[in-house]
A and B are shown apart, each in its own frame.
Chain A
Amino acid sequence: MDKKAKDILKLLENNARLSYEEIAEMLGISEKEVEEVVKKAEENGIILKYKTLVNWERAGEEPVYAVIDVRVTLTREKNYDDIAKRIAKYPEVHAVRLISGDYDFQVVVKGKSLKDVSFFVAEKISTIPEVLTTVTHFVLRTYKEEGVLLFKEEDDRRLAITP
């Protein structure tokens, strides 16, 4: 991928609401070029989706997140991809990653309550034949999400005019 395309993607990754015009102005290229790159990236699955990072706690909601370590056993018929896909298809599952270390998968589950999440894990994940063990860690507080700090950053202490 060329630098121009990368620059456009980086800008959109940080702020999906930028218009073609604004991106073009910032990068010193034409609007048409921006549009072409974006359209192509959408078609090729490079851009997966445009979404908004919401601080639900601030909105008064209290969704429960849990990180679940999953250890599995592999067979000739079922490899990592097969098992991961089975887990990933549940809408409750926020993320699935194959990881190194003591466990095989790290699964992030989102639910309405502790009970909700616990039962989901017990009924849907633990019961998959290849799953050997699971360990559930409930998230108590999130400090940084998707590279965004969820606590107040330092104030701008600079003087209004300096030489």
Chain B
Amino acid sequence: MRISKNVASLKPSGIRKFFELIIGRDDVISLGVGEPDFPVPWRIREEIIYSLEKGITSYTSNYGLYELREKISEYYKKFGVNCGVDNIVVTTGVSEAIDIAIRSILNFGESILIPEPCYVSYSPLTILAGGIALSYPTNPDFIPYYEDMIKIAERAERDGRKIKAIIINYPNNPTGVSYTKNTLEEIADFAVEKDLIVISDEIYAELSYSFKHISIAALEGMFERTIILNGFSKAYAMTGLRVGYVIAPEDLINAMLKIHQYCMLCAPVISQVGAIEALRSEDELDEMREEYIRRRNYIVKKLRNVLDVRKPDGAFYIFPSIKNTGLSSEEFAKKLLFEKNVAVVPGNAFGESGEGYIRCAYAVNMDKLKEAVGRIVEFVENL
């Protein structure tokens, strides 16, 4: 076979499959989009245009622009982390950050614990790094509890497996659940007890509604074993500009930098310039956060009339259970698309434990949201 066994073993993406169904359909209202509907703030776009005019088009240092790293180090204080410029590497979006974080620590055959449902790329990237993705369901409240994790870890140890790290993502895609300080402490205790590295994907940190986001690296003794992943896609809508970063202790940073310098060299320079401008002001963030909260309140209230919905703490997703309809996630999503022209993502795209749920993103304006929610309610009532 020409294709590597590792690659061939990866399952096709559930999202990709669903995307094909939508192509060619007109007037679909999509609640399937995992990116903000707010445009990139104009000041950031202006700065990028100006940088092109000035001819800023060359490579940057492998680490990323010094000014950007200074600003990130300043910025992360708000989440409780004091780190130096040398603890930061700017990446081509968080996607690359996940990849180099995993590859920098994993030996062949080692495992990474992945609480599910979760973002789609953690398992595949673990497998591509030659590791084992040890995922486990966090249903029904989607919180990784100390006792559950210890049980899983001890079973794995009995099977002779070595767990190297745990990947967490909060506020979470797809569930919208975020972790309080208590939950973070449980995860930290578990990580310390089992001597694990925590890969903490905090891309939705700015979209935390129920309580203030704190980084797990801010807990005592945790910076030394945490790789923070974050970027500019969700807070500043810079999705296609592909710019993110990792924050980690120096030995891990140096390891990730080795991979980054060979596979990426540096993040796109104009995106880095835009990111510097992004961090100059947080004026847009409050307004945006408030709009998301209004939409969340609205969609939760309306959908609770027909489905079991947990009110999420952050991000722009709700993850209602559709078990009362008797349909599978995929059946529900397909039927909804074909009958009502509303697109949502079947929950099983985010791991087996997402079966019985759908992910609805409220990253659409209020008018569209109202229309879509109305159609979903009608759809369920007529099932």
Contacts and interface: CB of A to CB of B under 8 A. Distances in A.
B39 interface: yes
Contact of B22 (A26, A27, A158, A160): A160
Contacts of B345: 161
B338 interface: no
Given A25-B301, A28-B297, A163 B28 contact: no
A161 B15 CA distance: 7
13 contacts: A11-B294, A25-B298, A26-B294, A26-B298, A26-B366, A28-B297, A160-B32, A160-B33, A160-B343, A161-B30, A162-B35, A163-B13, A163-B121
B35 A161 contact: no
B302 A161 contact: no
Contacts of A160: 19, 22-23, 28, 30, 32-33, 343
Contacts of A27: 294, 297
B373 to A, nearest CB: 10
B19 A159 contact: yes
A123 interface: no
Closest A-B pairs by Cβ, 6 of them:
A26-B294, A161-B32, A161-B19, A160-B30, A162-B34, A28-B297
A145 interface: no
A7 interface: yes
A163 B120 contact: yes
Given A25-B302, A27-B294, A28-B297, A158 B121 contact: no
Contacts of A26: 294-295, 297-298, 366
B34 A25 contact: no
Greatest chain B CB density within 10 A among A22, A26, A28, A160 is at A160
Contact of A162 (B15, B28, B302): B15
Interface residues of A, number: 15
- Chain A interface helix/strand/loop/mixed: loop
B37 interface: yes
Contacts of A161: 15, 18-19, 22, 30, 32-33, 343, 345
B290 interface: yes
Tell me which of A11, A160, A162, A163 has the highest count of chain B C-beta atoms within 10 A of its own C-beta: A163
B119 interface: yes
A154 interface: yes
B297 A25 contact: yes
Interface string B25-52: 0001010111101010000000000000
Interface in A24-57: 25-28
Interface of B: 13, 15, 18-19, 22-23, 28, 30, 32-35, 37, 39, 119-121, 173, 290, 294-295, 297-298, 301-302, 343, 345, 349, 366
Residues of B contacting A: mostly: mixed
Given A25-B301, A26-B295, A158-B35, A163 B343 contact: no
Contacts of B366: 26
A158 B302 contact: no
A162 B298 contact: no
A26 B302 CA distance: 10
A102 interface: no
Contacts of A7: 290
A6 to B, nearest CB: 10
A95 to B, nearest CB: 26
A161 to B, nearest CB: 4
Contacts of B173: 163
A161 B343 CA distance: 8
Interface in A1-34: 7, 11, 22, 25-28
Nearest to A163: B120
A156 B349 CA distance: 24
Contacts of B39: 154
A90 to B, nearest CB: 37
A29 B64 CA distance: 46
A26 to B, nearest CB: 4
Contacts of B120: 163
Residue from B23, B120, B298 whose CB has the most chain A CB atoms within 10 Å = B298
Contacts of A163: 13, 15, 34, 119-121, 173, 349
Interface string A137-163: 000000000000000001010111111
A9 to B, nearest CB: 13
A28 to B, nearest CB: 4
Interface in A94-136: none
A162 B33 contact: yes
Contacts of B30: 160-161
A160 B26 CA distance: 11
Nearest to A158: B33
Nearest to A10: B290
Contacts of A154: 39
Contacts of B119: 163
A2 to B, nearest CB: 15
A159 B22 CA distance: 10
Contacts of B295: 26
